Amino acid sequence: MGGNTLGKIFKITSFGESHGDVIGIIIDGIPAGLEIKLELIQKELNKRKPGQSKISTSRNEPDIVKILSGVFKNKTTGAPICLIIKNKDTKSSKYEKYKNLLRPSHVDYSALKRYGGNSDYRGSGRFSGRITAGIVMAGAIAKLILKEFKIDIFAYTKSIGDIVDNQNYNLDTLYEIEKQREMSIVRCLDANKSKNMIEVIENAKKENDSVGGIIKCIVKNVPPGLGSPIFEGLESNLSKAIFSIGSIKGIEFGAGFNSTKMKGSQHNDPWIIKKGKIETVKNDSGGIIGGISIGMPIEFQIAVKPTASIGQEQKTVDINKLEESVLTLTGRHDPCIVPRAVIVVEAMTAIVILDQLLYEGKIPLIINSKEKN
């Protein structure tokens, strides 16, 4: 049981509930000597925060990060860092009335069976998307370290419902692309597709319905040779972490499911020498072969299901009376969580890549140290 700690060296421990006092995260195993820029953590949190746009939930939370431990004179000490945000805009009463009605495709029944009816059900408690704020805070710190080693992580919305952006973006210009992405409230990189995606979400919202989509994530400059097969390969560790984000139902690396329709002669990525460096002509392997990085960008795609909470009347069961019933949810929900999940995927990816680098001894315990490490 348990299961709220992830990682082998860079270990994160998640705690808090949607309508409890706080959402928090502990980071242990962080190298000492890293300068912590609070405003960068806050910036990441702001991107995930509810109520950013007309297509997101109306829950109003400032989500101001507070550091409880592990930072001294603005630097990491090597001790565990505890980061929290407070829960302020909690309207718990409405959850009382649904208490006995199992929300379709929601955790009510699984949680009942798992925790014997003791779960905090207010705002979905521990299963709320709000828990991912902890991931975003830890990810922000992981990104700070990765940046020192020139490793960049970038995710964006590839599809919402039927609207798919199939373009291949120039990875050399990630930073400009990020600005472009943040100008779109759906985090799509193409202005026209973006408009269409927003429309799809707004239509779903009007119909008290919801939609899903696909997130693409790219990691640049991971050195070749990272990964510890057979069980600690990169695909294994990335997928484990990514599936811990709610509503994710699929992941594929490189050509992924499309590869199943390709011949080996099409799918294989020929090796070449480019500016004295060994590369592949294309990247259908997604930068990972045999669980180990090859130095090409790591690329993967993630399926996000439509939000389970919808305002339409749904058939369900009253768990108390043990009889069939109907349920119409009111309340504040994102009609599509893809745009906010983009930020969570980036954070989780940063955490996994950093942990793997530390696990394989590729990042020292002390950063920028005068002491020999």
How many beta carbons lie within 10 A of that of residue 214, not counting itself?
A: 17
Among 39-47, 49-57, 136-144, 237-245, which window interacts with a copy of itself (CB under 8 A)? Answer: 237-245
Residue nearer to a copy of itself on the CB measure, 218 or 289: 289
If DSSP codes are grouped into helix, strand and coil, which group holds residue 11? strand
Using the rule CB under 8 A, is 168 a contact of a copy of itself?
Answer: no
Binding mask 170-209 for a copy of itself (x = CB under 8 A): ----------------------------------x--x-x
Q: Count residues binding a copy of itself (CB under 8 A).
A: 161
Q: Per CB under 8 A, which of residues 263..282 are in contact with a copy of itself?
A: 263-273, 276, 278, 280-281
Among the listed ranges 43-51, 111-119, 181-189, 339-347, the one in contact with a copy of itself (CB under 8 A) is: 111-119
What residues between 217 and 236 interact with a copy of itself by CB under 8 A? 223-233, 235-236
> How would you label 278-294 residue by residue, b for 16+ Cβ within 10 Å and e otherwise?
ebbeebbbbbbbebbbb
Segment 18 to 47, residues that bind a copy of itself, using CB under 8 A: 20-22, 24, 26, 28-33
Contact 2, 13 (CB under 8 A): no
CA–CA gap between residue 339 and residue 79 (Å, rounded): 33
CB of 153 to a copy of itself, least distance (A): 19
Query: In angstroms, rounded to a whole number, what is the distance separating the alpha carbons of residues 272 and 16?
Result: 49
Site string for a copy of itself, 313-352 (x = CB under 8 A): -xxxx-x--xxx----------------------------
Rank residues 139 and 161 by Cβ distance to a copy of itself and give the closer one: 161
CB of 48 to a copy of itself, least distance (A): 16
Q: What is the CA radius of gyration of the chain?
A: 21
Joined tokens for residue 209: 């319905």
- Smaller CB separation from a copy of itself, 45 or 351: 351
What torsion do the CA atoms of 255, 260, 264, 269 make, to the nearest 10 degrees?
A: 10
CA distances from 279 to 135, 146, 289 (A): 33, 22, 13
What are the φ/ψ torsions at residue 303 (nearest 5 degrees)? -90, 125
